[in-house]
A and B are shown apart, each in its own frame.
Chain A
Amino acid sequence: MKQTDNLVDIKDLTFRRGSRTIYDGISLQVPKGKITAVMGPSGIGKTTLLKLIGGQLRPDSGDILFRGESIPAMRRSRLFKVRRQMSMLFQSGALFTDMTVYDNIAYPLREHTRLEEDIIRTVVLLKLQSVGLRGAAGLMPSELSGGMARRAALARAIALDPDLIMYDEPFAGQDPISMGVLVKLIKQLNDSLGVTSIVVTHDVKEVLSIADYVYILANQKIIGSGTPDEVREDSSELVQQFLQGSADGPVPFHYPADELAKSLMEVR
């Protein structure tokens, strides 16, 4: 049964922002209980993909299925119900700056459940323990380092035990240690809670170490996909340039421009 194996199923998706095409007919599947990585160079709208899955944006054509149910076709109230089963870790962490770390993590619980305050306390402390920040419960978000803020946000993202966690650039701008911590956490959460994860990133090495399946996006299309090993062996020049990080290749070093000599000679 293919339908039940995939938590998220994107079919022939096209999305434009103004006159710019972001995606041109892409299809990808996110199998249940696995870590799926979506990679690609900066500025091609990887975050947009997550917002499309979350229903914050609507595709111009194509369909996005969550448990076989079309997200763009949902009414707002249904969408809000479905969103409780997913959560998203934003690049900036997006902790609420006007409350403590503890209240941040308790927030979705207080909004969506009718749990007693002492049960909430237990849940929050357990979630904080799992990201190693129980000691930081009383701090304000402004007192946290970037890596700690992201871990706290991760604790908030798993507060309601979602089925799907979407990570938006979890490794961007992290030092090697916190990067290692995050890699370990993502893997651990996936294994212990059985959640499905989508990791959007351009940090090749880290993500290949934990991903079960990889998609590489460029030029509005999927240019390569497969398990990490398959992707490493991919014959496409573009994929290899991206994985190895060479400066020039199919993705040119230069932004499209007139010839240098001509530009310099131009009379102003």
Chain B
Amino acid sequence: MRWRGLLWCSAILPLLPVALLASATVEGRVELPKSHSAPVQAKRYQIVTKGGVLSTQPPLAVVYLDGTFPEPDSLPTKQVTQKDLTFIPALLPVRVGTKVEFPSLDDTYHNIFSYSPAKRFDLGRYRPDERPVPSQVFDKPGLVTLRCDIHEHMRGLILVLNTAYFVMTDTAGHFRLSGLPTGHYTLKAWIDSKTTREQPVDLKNGQTLHVDFP
């Protein structure tokens, strides 16, 4: 009876997704750029302008495990909101195939578009109460820069990744990526459109690896 159970287990194990067996963790720190963006809104020809200032976005990085991983059956839908003339979040990492919705919480029109090779689209002008909320499926890996055709200062980024294992750093650059599969991989830190750092990692079951990107 015991032997039969073990046989069943050995037969089923190779069929399980790698993620279910994952148990390694990587943590560390990414050296983030010192500068931060403090956007200025051009209000020259707006008859009605509101007071207040645009929120500033601290630089953040995305740390991800590069490799070939099984395709998921479904992916959760993500959102990039337009609020107070800003994209929230300003940086969103997603897996290839993810649908991203763009709800607007402002009482003025936006016109989100991207000319990035990874995804070229123009959502046009839509009211905040329009349903379904305009969305796009990001089906190619790469960096997608979101802009607004009406508000020149608005910038957002969607980093489309070929991996399920990614995490954003906090504003100090700290990250913790858990539930990783064991094996030999490359750990990458995307810092900005020009800078991606990488380090080879050997992930072992139950181990927490410390990796810094100076």
Are A and B co-members of a single complex? Answer: no
